[in-house]
Structure 1
Amino acid sequence: MRLHRLEVTAFGPFSGTEVIDFEALSDAGLFLIQGQTGAGKTSVLDAVCFALYGAVPGVRNDVKGLRSDHAAPGAAPRVVLEATIRGRRFRITRSPAWERPKLRGTGTTTENAKIVLEEHDGDWTGLTTRIDEASDLVGQLLGMNRDQFCQVAMLPQGAFASFLRADAAERRKVLERLFAAEVFTRVETWLADRRAATHRQAEALRARVADVAGRIAEVAAAELPADLPPEALPAWAAEVAAHHADILACAETLRAEATAGLAAARAEGEAAHALAERQARHAQALRRREAFTERAEERRRLTSRLDEAERAGRVVGLVRQARRHAEQADRSRRYAAHLRERVEPLVGADVAEDVLGKAERDRRDEIATLDGRRADAERLRRYDAERAQLAGERARLEPAAADLARLLTELPDQVRARARALEAANVAAAERPGAQHAVETAERRLAAAHRRDRLDDLVVQAEDAHRAATDVAQEARDRVQALRQARLDGMAAVLARELVPGEPCLVCGSPDHPRPLASSTDIPGQDEVDRAQAEADRAQSRREEAAAEVARLRAEHAHLAEDVGDTTAEALAEDLEDARAALESAAARAAEADRLAFELSRAEERQDKARAEHDQLTERLTRNRARDEELAAERDRLAAALDEARGEDPSLDARVARLTREADALKEAVEAERQAAHAERAHAESREVAATALADQAFRTAEEALTAWLEDEEQGELRGRIDWFSREEAAFRDRLADPELIAAAAEPAPDLDALRATLETAEAVHTTVASSAERAARRRARLAELRADLDAAVDAWLPAAEEHRVAEHLAGVASGKSGANRLGMSLSAYVLAARLEQVVNAANERLARMSAGRYALLHTIDKAAGDRKKGAGGLGLRVTDAWTGQDRDPATLSGGESFITSLALALGLADVVTAEAGGTEINTLFVDEGFGTLDEQTLDEVMDVLDGLRDGGRAVGIVSHVAELRARIPAQLRIRKGRTGSTTTVMV
């Protein structure tokens, strides 16, 4: 990955928009990010990380607080990063969530986080605006998460000094974030969970075995051996089942004997009951015969009455039909006489039926003729209504047409007058654009003149400030040089004061000190030198800022001078007033032209509209008058024809209604005559048929037949009573003829009470014996079921117990708590220890150069004093000192030694993480702080190592405020802080 360009707006300490050209910095290979404390050096790294991952490193990852407090209330925070990743150039525009002022009212509203991911392929092409999709794509291309990227590309030295001195637990947390060790932790957890699960399963199955064995003991009323293992329980159950099989065989023998005795008692009792039942049936048949003989006369009367009713039923219907026909014939005669009386005024009295029919047809024919005239009457009414509408329309249109004709004579003069006025106004308004441009030019030149005059004073003030800052910076630098020289000159005296008789000298190694040097002047301490250097750095920064301000003001003054020259502001102000007056005059003329154009358009539209309306009204009046004349002629013709057809009736409808009533009355009279004749014929025929049927059924009169007739329900009741007599006679005759009943009646009656007592005794004995046998059989069957359950439970428990043994062994080895794990390390700790060993090997290559071969890191698997947890360990670090040949705790290193050691460790870890992530090339990396603790020689060694990182086109950025690095590294990104926010400057 290589960075090209970074743009930040309202982000962190940057209130405005700052653009950082990493292309120019990367060309130098090694560049410095420097600035005062709190200026925002680390915020540049935060912006890069936020653009890629949507979060900043470590504890600063408070996304809601990323917006600059110095920014304007409505300014949106944004980071734009252009970078090449795996040969593809991307532009990432990302904004965090922030609270913006509401557009209406007071208060704020939340703006959600946003992202735009684009790729450059000849032109910028949008890939996605979804945060999750963009994060997935960046993570896949880089091949590492945020923690890994921050460790590989940003090398946080403070964090690695802590990592160097941390205990195993803290070191493990850092390594777990950087390496994919969670899979091995999940393996440990899975094996531990599997051990617990198999233990629960085995114990559950063992409990199942014990439960089934307990139920066998309960069913068999036996005692369960307490010390018997699960696999021996099936043999014990087989012994218990064999004992109960013998008990069942004895009970079955006793039940067979009791069953035979019960069967004999039941057979004897059933025979006695059958004899008693046959004797009772024979006695009952004798009693029914005597009762039947007493009711013989009743049976004869019922039979005679049923026969008479059946004969009457054959003629009653015919008699009733004849009487209905007689009543119908009488009604028809009276109705026909009534209708003939109604039509006598039309045709005369006592006319024949065909005369009535001809009179009806004559009237129907005339009605049909008159119906044809109804359409003419309807048309006459429509003609009158339409003429009335035409007259009303003429009354409305004629005055409107007269008004429009008068208006058309006045409008042409008005249109011509407005056209002439508009032409004159347009000529005057054409000067407006030129007047507007003259005003804008005058305003710009006047503002430039005011700024030019102000800059005269500002340039003088800036030059004075620059000279003062230069003097202060030079004095501070001279003081630093003097203090350093004094300290160097007095260094021998300082070493002499530290000599102890008998102990070797730190310089020559001799225990003798014959002539130690003494100094008569005060020797400055290192703290005093450091304070002087810090003051000199601050003075130099102020000097550079003052120089930059002078250059900026001079350039601005020169630009303004080119624009306005030596013209005074007062003269330019007068020019502006004249231009504004000319613009106002042109604007007034343009407004007048607009008004006149509008009025002309309105007048022309009004004239065209009036002409169109007048033509339309004239055409409508012509059509109206022609239609009225046509309708008047047609109405007169229809009125004469309808008067002739109406005759003496008041109207055509009245004549049609009268003729319709007369024709309907004649039709009803003819129909009534025909129905009366038909009813007479039907009455004569039904009367003759009824008389013949009465004679055939031996009835003298119709009333006699009606009296003898019975309803179907009554006849059914008689038949049922007669059938009962027949069934009763057949029943007792059959029983009295039965040989079994005759033989039973001849035998003595049996003693049923004695036989019942014998049967009850046999049943009680059989119940007792059968109950015992059933219990024994159920117990044996239940034991068989439980034995099968026990065998199944033991079969299920055996593999579960073996599986738990294997799982327990593997979990113990993976967790480091088993004796089979000789190192006593968990699986995840072992993997992390291997990664740490790789890191140490990579770090020692650089540490040897930076420490001149003195120090080397040593990875140990021994547990530290605080690593009491079983299975931990394997993450120890020691420092080997080649000068003493001893191993040291990293906590004993000095500040500078800790810096170079932790820097080597960070670089080594970056190499290993990069390889772990798939070898993603990081062509731009940053080293954050820590150089102030190094002496000049060590700083040279460290710079050589960092310079070596540039191999292959890699760019290295050092984040530091150490003054000496500004002299060593010409390519710099300077960050200045101020009350309104920080700003950036790229110097190459």
Structure 2
Amino acid sequence: MKPVKLTMTAFGPYAGQQVIDFSELENRKMFVISGKTGSGKTTIFDAISFAMYGKPSGDHRSASDMRSQFADPKQMTEVSLLFQLKGRTFFIRRTPQQEKLKARGGGMTMAAATAELYEKKADGSEELLAANVRDTDEKMNELIGLEANQFRRILMIPQGEFQKLLMAGSQEKEKILQKLFQTSFYKRVEDVLKEKSDALKKEAGKAADQQIALLKSLPAYSLDMSVLLEQEAIQKDAILPQLDVDLSEMNEQYDSLQQRVKAISSRRDSLLGERERGLARNAQFDRLEKALQEKEQLNEKKEEIETLQSQMNRAERAEKLLSYEIIEQKARQAAQAAMNRRNEAEKAVHEAVRLFEKANEQLKKEQELQPARDELAKQLQKLHSIKEDVYAYRSAEEETKQGQEHLEKAKQAGIHLLKKTQEMSSNEQEAEQLLQGLQSSKETYLETGYLIEKLRALLDQFEELTAARNVLKEQEKAEDAARHQAEKTAANAAAALEQLRHIRIEWNKGQSAMLARQLKEGEPCSVCGAVHHPDPAKADSSQISEQRLEEAEKKAECCHQENRQAEQEWTEARFSLKSARDTVEKLEKKLPADFGVEEALGRLKQAEKNRRQAEQNMVKKEKLEQQLLSIKQQKQRLTVQLDQNRIEEMNANTAFIQSRSTLQRLEQAIPERMRSSDYFVKELERLEKETTRLQNQYEQAMEAVQKANTAWRTADSVFNERMQAVDGAESALNEANFAFLQKREEADFDSVELYKEAKQLIESLARMKERVKAYEQKQRDLLLLITELKAALDGGVRTNIAKLDEEISMLNEELTRWTDQAASLMAQIKESIRIRGAVEEIAGQMAQAEEAYRLAGHLYEVAHGKNELKVTFERYVLASFLEEILSAANTRLALMTNGRFLLERLTERSKGNAQSGLDLLVFDHYTGASRHVKTLSGGESFKAALALALGLAEVVQNYAGGVSLETMFVDEGFGTLDPESLDQAVETLMDIQADGRLVGIISHVPELKERIDARLEVGQSSTGSKAKFVFTGER
């Protein structure tokens, strides 16, 4: 990523719009950012970080805090950045969440954060990639390939941040590296292994409990099994063999029970067959007795059946006459209907004559009203001739009235507008006078804002001094304790060394005595070679053993190491104490000597009070300006309205005169009572309705005469036709009556009454036939059945069913008893086999779970730090990352220190349970020994921190997928370097920019400004800061 143009508006100390065009550097790859403390140098980093990720460069500031106190309240805070990435050009714009003036009324409202991302094409067009904060953040992460924290670590080296990382202990380094390399996954591996280990352990325990519960639920078949199951501790290895013995015995007993059940079932089935055959024979005896009884009953009904047969004969003869009777009845009905229709036709003729005469009388009356109809036509024609003038009169009257009212309203409106214009002029003068007294409120607001910022910065320095003094006190105590500990361990080491010297002397004496005992006169000594031994060494009772000598040596070595460690810690404590004193002295020099915290707080409160008053005056001033603008606009509108009113009054007067002249002309042409359009319309409608009514009455009378004449002729024709129909119907009736009488005599019905009696039987003729037929069929069926049953029984006797049932019941009870015993025994067998299978299956599962638990538990312990080095899995990974960082850092540190220093990781295990693995040492080639990084001087620690920052940037960039970041910013630290070290540091940065990377350095060091010909100078004033590029060399 390479910035091209950065634009800040109302951001940090930059009140207005500040544009930093990096393209002005042309082919320069390094520049210095210079300016006074608090002028806004680091704000440039904040703006780039905010544009890219919506966050400033430091963790102690939020985006909403970056609103400029110098900015105009109407000015919105905004940052935009044009940058290049992998050959593509992008433009991003962001605004933080901030307060803004309400569009209507007074007060402030909260505006939400916004973000937009575009890609600039080669042809000058733009493509919108994201239009809101969430989409922009996602797209930027996708393009850059780094999170905000990683981006800041690579792109920006903040003041003192990497010196803190350099000096930090293992635990603090772990937190920093976790964020950079996102190693929470490895911590999650530890958690997953623990969860897996706990789950497997729980699973194995649960399986064991299930196994014991199953064994306890075994049915106790034998006494031995009962004893085993009643024991407090269930013994699976004893229960399962006994279960095999019990199952064998239970199977033998079950087979015996099954044989007994089979024998009883066979005897019972035989008796059941005999019972079924007896029941069938007894049923045949019952059927024979019933058939004989039914035969006697049929014989008793013989006379009744003969009567039915006689009735059937008469009904059949009557049924044959029904068709002739029906024909005679229909002919009689037709004759009567013809007579009725003839009478109706005769009445219709009389009614038609009467209506014809009445219609003629009404027609004569209507002919006598013809003169009245003619008079109405004349009146109606007269009204139509004045119709248009009547309607025009009403409109002219209304226009005259409205014109008079409009003229009066225009006059009144002119008076009102003139009065309002005079009032607006008075209000305008009053507002201008009030506004004159509030002109200086904005200058006061900006001046007090700058003063508040300075006072707050001063109070922060006072607070920092207090904290530094507290740290100094703690460091003094720590140095004193370290000194006492060093003195104590030195005394212990000296005492142990003296004791070791004494023991060695005594041990040597003992060794001499041992050699003396082996000497013989005349034989050479193995030490001096002499053959005479006049005074050999003698052993005393307190001879020192070799074990005691070794213990003394170990003790002396241990005391020496403790003293060395204490001396090291005392050296570090003295260094920390000196650093704390230097910090306090620097802070005391920065602070004013003429006033303290209380006076600064008092000045701050007064400045804040003055700022609030100035802000209120600014709001009042803006409201007054808006009111004055509104008054002027209203006055201008009133003037325009007054001119328009005058024109409108003239037009209204002209229209009134014209409408009044038209009204006078119409009054002369229209009779007075006809001037009302309502009356005219009603009179016109009345005449039209009366004319229409009289005409309709005449036409209706003519039509009624014609209809009555037609109806009379039609009725007379129908009457003649119906007279002929009556004659034909009477002839047909006589013929049908003769035919019916002749057929009745042929059927032997001497009278009509006998025929009617027989006809009543026709309805039940079918039932009588069925009854007779059923009787005859029943006689035949009973005779056949009685013959068959007598032949089948052949003189036999009934079977005793009760005796058979009693014997079968006894056998069923005995069968149930033995069957239940067998079923109960089989249930025990099946349950025992099921439990044994379940126990064996659980045993297999337990073996698998225990094996898996052993593996998972061991993996968890190793990953959790229960290993020789006491290093967790995550810390092991972080140590690997740190090794890579140190490798990259040492390449640059060796150049900056002429090969004297190299950074290395402390690999020794810490004492007790303290976390280790990430502490740093510095190897000094001058001494050939390693020491803690805290022992480095200020300039040396800056070099080490710079090398560490550059190494970290390189490694993080590699692990982010080879992300191409072509820019780096370094914030301060060069003031601690001597000229040679400064040259080495600059050379290192030159190597970076030689690779094409743009390097920006914040520094107050004059030598650095002289060496680098491009400067971004940041100046501050009471109205905010400004920045611009300055070039001193030829290019």
Structure 1 length-normalised TM: 0.64
Aligned residue for 2:603?
none
Aligned residue for 1:38?
38
- Are the counterparts in 2 of residues 10 and 75 from structure 1 also a CA contact under 8 Å? yes
Tell me which amino acid in the other structure corresponds to 1:835: F
1:874 to 908, 917, 934: 917
Aligned residue for 2:307?
301
1:149 to 131, 148, 151: 151
Q: Are 1:53 and 2:53 matched, yes or no?
A: yes
* Change beyond 3 A, Cα 1:774–1:532: closer
3-state secondary structure, aligned to 1:921 = coil
- Are the counterparts in 2 of residues 27 and 955 from structure 1 also a CA contact under 8 Å? no
List aligned pairs for 1:725-874, cutoff 5 A. 725-726=775-776, 729-730=779-780, 732-739=782-789, 743=793, 746-780=795-829, 807-808=856-857, 810-811=859-860, 814-817=863-866, 825-865=871-911, 868=914, 873-874=916-917
Distance 1:938 1:831 in 2: 34
1:168 to 164, 167, 170: 170
Tell me which amino acid in the other structure corresponds to 2:96: P
- Are the counterparts in 2 of residues 219 and 783 from structure 1 also a CA contact under 8 Å? no
Deviation at 1:764, TM superposition (A): 0.9
Aligned residue for 1:112?
112
Q: Are 1:286 and 2:292 matched, yes or no?
A: yes
- Are the counterparts in 2 of residues 923 and 953 from structure 1 also a CA contact under 8 Å? yes
3-state secondary structure, aligned to 2:993 = coil
Aligned residue for 2:967?
924
Q: Which digits, 9 at most, give the CA deviation of each residue in 1:99-129, with x for residues without a partner?
A: 3333224554443322222333242513322
3-state secondary structure, aligned to 1:71 = coil
Q: Which digits, 9 at most, give the CA deviation of each residue in 1:79-98, with x for residues without a partner?
A: 01111111222221111233
- Are the counterparts in 2 of residues 833 and 861 from structure 1 also a CA contact under 8 Å? no
3-state secondary structure, aligned to 1:949 = helix
* Change beyond 3 A, Cα 1:388–1:682: farther
Distance 2:732 2:840 in 1: 102
Deviation at 1:308, TM superposition (A): 3.6
Aligned residue for 2:96?
96
Distance 2:708 2:58 in 1: 114
Deviation at 1:761, TM superposition (A): 0.9
Distance 2:869 2:785 in 1: 111
1:339 to 332, 342, 345: 345
Tell me which amino acid in the other structure corresponds to 1:733: L
3-state secondary structure, aligned to 1:986 = strand
List aligned pairs for 1:276-675, cutoff 5 A. 276-316=282-322, 318-320=324-326, 322-340=328-346, 342-343=348-349, 651-662=701-712, 664-666=714-716, 668-669=718-719, 672-673=722-723
Aligned residue for 2:569?
none
Tell me which amino acid in the other structure corresponds to 1:43: T
- Are the counterparts in 2 of residues 91 and 117 from structure 1 also a CA contact under 8 Å? yes
Q: Which digits, 9 at most, give the CA deviation of each residue in 1:273-323, with x for residues without a partner?
A: 444433333333333333443343333334433444454444446535533
* Change beyond 3 A, Cα 1:535–1:60: closer
- Are the counterparts in 1 of residues 316 and 762 from structure 2 also a CA contact under 8 Å? no
Q: Are 1:910 and 2:953 matched, yes or no?
A: yes
3-state secondary structure, aligned to 1:3 = strand
Deviation at 1:168, TM superposition (A): 2.4
Deviation at 1:210, TM superposition (A): 6.6
Out of 591-600 and 1-10, give the one that drifted further: 591-600
Q: Are 1:8 and 2:11 matched, yes or no?
A: no
3-state secondary structure, aligned to 2:68 = coil
- Are the counterparts in 2 of residues 82 and 89 from structure 1 also a CA contact under 8 Å? yes
Tell me which amino acid in the other structure corresponds to 2:72: A
Deviation at 1:907, TM superposition (A): 1.4
3-state secondary structure, aligned to 2:92 = strand
Deviation at 1:7, TM superposition (A): 0.8
Distance 1:157 1:802 in 2: 55
Out of 894-903 and 170-179, give the one that drifted further: 894-903
3-state secondary structure, aligned to 1:737 = helix
* Change beyond 3 A, Cα 1:793–1:681: farther
Distance 2:808 2:11 in 1: 110
- Are the counterparts in 2 of residues 333 and 676 from structure 1 also a CA contact under 8 Å? yes
Aligned residue for 1:19?
19
Tell me which amino acid in the other structure corresponds to 1:766: L
Deviation at 1:933, TM superposition (A): 4.3
Aligned residue for 1:126?
127
* Change beyond 3 A, Cα 1:789–1:322: farther
Q: Which digits, 9 at most, give the CA deviation of each residue in 1:423-451, with x for residues without a partner?
A: xxxxxxxxxxxxxxxxxxxxxxxxxxxxx
Deviation at 1:739, TM superposition (A): 3.9
* Change beyond 3 A, Cα 1:290–1:173: same
Distance 1:711 1:894 in 2: 146
* Change beyond 3 A, Cα 1:312–1:929: farther
Distance 1:668 1:925 in 2: 127
Q: Are 1:957 and 2:1003 matched, yes or no?
A: no
List aligned pairs for 1:258-277, cutoff 5 A. 258-277=264-283
* Change beyond 3 A, Cα 1:260–1:200: same
Aligned residue for 1:68?
68
Distance 1:83 1:257 in 2: 104
* Change beyond 3 A, Cα 1:160–1:341: closer
* Change beyond 3 A, Cα 1:139–1:91: same
Aligned residue for 1:433?
none
- Are the counterparts in 2 of residues 39 and 975 from structure 1 also a CA contact under 8 Å? yes
Q: Which digits, 9 at most, give the CA deviation of each residue in 1:496-536, with x for residues without a partner?
A: xxxxxxxxxxxxxxxxxxxxxxxxxxxxx989996899699
* Change beyond 3 A, Cα 1:170–1:255: same
Aligned residue for 2:406?
none
Deviation at 1:23, TM superposition (A): 3.0
Aligned residue for 1:459?
none
- Are the counterparts in 2 of residues 278 and 741 from structure 1 also a CA contact under 8 Å? no
Q: Which digits, 9 at most, give the CA deviation of each residue in 1:517-572, with x for residues without a partner?
A: xxxxxxxx989996899699xxxxxxxxxxxxxxxxxxxxxxxxxxxxxxxxxxxx
Deviation at 1:931, TM superposition (A): 3.9
Distance 1:866 1:103 in 2: 66
Tell me which amino acid in the other structure corresponds to 1:98: Q
Structure 2 length-normalised TM: 0.61
- Are the counterparts in 1 of residues 186 and 873 from structure 2 also a CA contact under 8 Å? yes
* Change beyond 3 A, Cα 1:761–1:345: closer
Aligned residue for 2:757?
707
Unaligned runs of at least 5 residues, structure 2: 357-373, 398-580, 593-638, 659-690
Tell me which amino acid in the other structure corresponds to 2:704: A
Tell me which amino acid in the other structure corresponds to 2:141: G
List aligned pairs for 1:715-726, cutoff 5 A. 718=768, 722=772, 725-726=775-776
Q: Which digits, 9 at most, give the CA deviation of each residue in 1:368-390, with x for residues without a partner?
A: xxxxxxxxxxxx9xx99999998
3-state secondary structure, aligned to 1:68 = coil
Deviation at 1:175, TM superposition (A): 1.4
Distance 1:306 1:385 in 2: 96
